[in-house]
Every structure is written in C-alpha cells, then in structure tokens.
Amino acid sequence: MDPILIYGLNALVYIGIFAIVALSLNAEYGYTGLASFGKVAYFMIGAYSFALLVQAGVPWPLAMLLSAGIASLFGLLVSLPAIRLREDYLAIVTLTFGEILRIFIKAEDWLANGVWGMNIAPSFAAGNFSLGLLLNLALVAGILAACFFFMQLLANSPFGRIMRALREDEIAADAIGKNRIKYKAQVFMIGSAMAGLGGALFANFVGYISPESFLPIITFTIWMMVILGGPGSNIGVIVGAAAVQLFERGTIILKDYVDLPVDPTNLQNILFGLIIIVILMYRPSGLFKESKINTLGTRRAMRWLNPSSK
C-alpha cells in the first residue's frame, strides 16, 4: 500500500479509538456532569486486561469484551466511594487513581512486565500488514458505530433524561426520587466500560503497551476532544476527537516540511492549551451544541401542542 494511504488509515484507527473514549467521557461529563479526570486509568485497565487475557490464551473478541467488563467493574469500585464527593474532589480522586495504577503496574513486574511493557500478539492477519490495518480499521469503525448508536439511544431514553437532570440539579433529581448515587455509579460503569473497550482496541492495534503509554496527558487530550466538539453532543465529540487527532498529527508532519523555530510537540501542546482556554471563554458549548432531547414522548407532546405540524 501507498505509505500516505497507510498513514491516513492509521490516523483513522486512532481517531476511532479516541472517539470511543471521548464518547465515554461525554456520557460522564457531557450528559451527567461528572468530572472524571481519570479517563486514562480505565483506558489503561482495558489495554492491560486485553494484553493479559490474550497472553493467557483467551480469544481476542472475548478478551475485548472481558476488558470492557473489567474496566467497568473498576469504574464501579472507584465510583462507590468517590461519587458522593464534590466535583473538584472527584476530579482529584480520579486523577490520583490513574497515577496509582501506573505506579502499581511499574512496581509489580510479575504482573505485566513493569516498565518494560508488554507485547501483544496480533489478533488477525498475522504477517500481512496492510490487511491487518484494514481489519483493525473495520473493527474500530464497527465498535465506534455501535458505541455511537448506543450513546444516542441512551441519551434519548428516560435514563438519558435522568443523566441530564443530575447534571442540571442533582438535588432536585434526588428530590423527585431518582437515587443519584445509583445513577451516577451506573453512568461511571458505562463510561469506564467504553473507555476500557477503547483501551483494548488500542492495545490490539499498537501491539505494545507500557506504563509510559498511559500518561495523564491522555486524559487531558480526551477532555479536549469533548470540550472542543461540544459536551452533550455525540456527533460533536467524534468530530472533536478527529480534529484533535488530526491537529496532533498535523503538527508532527509539519516539521518535515517547515523549518519551525520551535519544537512541534511543544508548539502543539501550547496551542492545545490556548485553544481550550479560548473555547471555554468564547464558546463553552463547543462546536456542536447539545441536541434537543428527541423521544417518542416529546414528539407526541409537540404534535399535541401544535397539531398543524406533522
């Protein structure tokens, strides 16, 4: 295959993987208002679970599902004590959890080879690089589509309305009999499962993971995708994921063509920071505004209120 095509397809796979994780943050932050600053932790749990399961001989599709399940359980585990906390405390706890996890993996060599990292046997089309890339792309695209439709359905379901109610006024949601701790924990489980799935896809695609693959910067990048794309908009965060990934790659390619006076990685991160601040200041709703709730109930209600329209 043409190297440029390979590069493009490669980029698409990454966009897909990060879009899945961004969708999961959209469930937590965009719809429910939970400040989960530990996205990288669940991404990491998914990736390591997948690597360890595949190493233990579990077939990869099953390993992928199990990884999502394991990440989800960790989401529940962390959420149970943390979910009652105020937004800022929750942010600090989740951030800290990610760092503890990284220290744990580094320290316990027996589990996942510590700082040396793990190699993951390719799941399919071993030996044929191009075919492997295409299959990975198809897999990621398929799972992304599934996650997107799941999120759309979820957001427009009664559960989605509870999520928004928790975001807008959790005390009121509690007062009308919606157990906020229970619902938040469920959202956290869904979000963690999706992030874990993203991590499993990542491990499957790159074929090598180490504690250095899971720095806190990943959490920030995912937040950037959601803030840029538009919290509460599933299409928005996918566009955000694509934009952030392409920008990241663009600045790296730039150095081959333009003689920059600054290191492109530094430039890129400085620009990321500036963009986030500008968006928060001038367009906090992101590129895509949150869509209206679209359910059978609202459609009926609209028809009843305005019989002339279809």
Partner 1 sequence: MNWAQILFNSAVTGSLYLISAVALTLVYGLAKFPNFAHAEIMSLGGFIGFWVTEQLGAPLPVAFAAAFLVAGIVGYLSYRGIFKPLTDRGASLIHLMVASMALGFILRHTIGEIWGFSPLTLSIVWPAYDIGPLRVTLNWIILIITAVAVGIGLHFMLTRTRIGKAIRATASNPRLALSSGINTTRVLVITWFVSAGLAGVAGLFRGVETRLSPYLGWDILLPTFAVAMLGGIGSFYGAMAAALIIGLAENVGVVLLAEAGLSTEYRMAIPFIILIAVLIFRPQGLAKAFKGN
User: Quick check: 266 and 248 in contact, CB under 8 A?
Assistant: no
Binding of partner 1 by 108 (CB under 8 A):
yes
Using rule CB under 8 A, residue 243 touches partner 1: no
String of b and e for 240-262 (b: at least 16 CB within 10 Å)? bbbbbbebbbebeeeeeeeeeee
- Position 296: which residue type? L
Nearest CA-CA partner of 50 in 36, 37, 69: 69
Is the CB of 33 or the CB of 229 nearer to partner 1? 33
18 binds partner 1 (CB under 8 A): no
The binder of partner 1 chosen from 10, 12, 76, 99 (CB under 8 A):
99
Cβ–Cβ contacts within 10 Å for residue 233, how many?
23
Alpha-carbon distances of 125 from 65, 75, 122, 129, 257, rounded to whole Å: 20, 33, 8, 8, 34
Do strands 118-119 and 208-209 pair parallel, antiparallel, or not at all (unpaired)?
A: antiparallel
Q: Which is nearer to partner 1, 179 or 266 (CB)?
A: 266
Phi and psi of 33, rounded to 5°?
75, 20
What sign results for the dihedral spanned by CA atoms 173, 175, 178, 182?
Answer: positive
Binding window for partner 1 (CB under 8 A); candidates: 8-16, 119-127, 133-141, 260-268: 260-268
Q: Which residue of 14, 18, 29, 43 would you call a contact of partner 1, by CB under 8 A? A: 29
Q: Is 113 in the site for partner 1 (CB under 8 A)?
A: no
Is 169 among the residues that bind partner 1 (CB under 8 A)?
Answer: no
What's the closest the beta carbon of residue 54 comes to partner 1, in angstroms? 26
Least distance CB 23 / partner 1 (angstroms): 18
Q: Shortest approach of partner 1 to residue 96 CB, angstroms?
A: 5
Residue 86 is a binding residue for partner 1 (CB under 8 A):
yes
In order, the DSSP letters of 5-30 are HHHHHHHHHHHHHHHHHHHHHIIIII
CA distance 95 to 41: 8
Q: By CB under 8 A, is residue 76 in contact with partner 1? A: no
168 contributes a contact to partner 1 by CB under 8 A: no
Residues that bind partner 1 (CB under 8 A): 29, 33, 35, 37, 81-82, 85-89, 91-93, 95-97, 99-100, 103-104, 106-108, 216, 220, 223, 227, 262-263, 265-267, 269-270, 272-274, 276-277, 280-281, 284
